[in-house]
Structure 1
Amino acid sequence: MPPLPPLRPLPVLTSRRAATLFADDAGAATAEYAVATMAAVAFAGLLVLIMRNN
């Protein structure tokens, strides 16, 4: 097995680079909807279990 190439050092995180990296919210709303939907499904499943046990 050949040796791995050396790792490059990470670039310095300046305030300008941080603003560029963290300003992009693409997909954030989709992830929030997915989490909320999963919570609603879990709650509905819990209600079904409770209603079936009576």
Structure 2
Amino acid sequence: MLRWVISFIVIALIAALLGFGGIAGAAAGIAKIIFYIFIVLFVISLVMSLVRKV
């Protein structure tokens, strides 16, 4: 999932350099959403691994 975030950030940067503001904003927004989903899933998996060890 982190690869998707990196790819959308790269797309946003390339689009911003070429002057495509709408595409850059959309790609950056998608990257933010996927990143937050990744963080939530990471925290859930961390908590579940700690609970299973106890």
Shorter-chain TM-score bucket reads 0.5 to 0.7
Identity %: 19
- Which position in structure 1 is the counterpart of 2:9? none
Runs of 4+ more than 3 Å apart: none
Task: Identify which of structures 1 and 2 has the higher relative contact order when contacts are C-alpha pairs closer than 8 Å and 6+ apart.
Answer: 2
Q: What is the aligned counterpart of 1:23 among 21, 24, 27?
A: 21
- Which position in structure 1 is the counterpart of 2:34? 34
Residue identity matched to 1:52: R
Q: Which runs of 5+ in 2 are unaligned?
A: 1-15
Q: Which runs of 5+ in 1 are unaligned?
A: 1-17
| C-alpha RMSD of the superposition | 2.2
TM-score by length of 1: 0.54
Larger radius of gyration: 1
- Which position in structure 1 is the counterpart of 2:45? 45
After TM superposition, give the deviation of residue 37 of structure 1 in Å.
Answer: 0.2
In terms of fraction of residues, the more helix-rich structure is: 2
TM-score by length of 2: 0.54
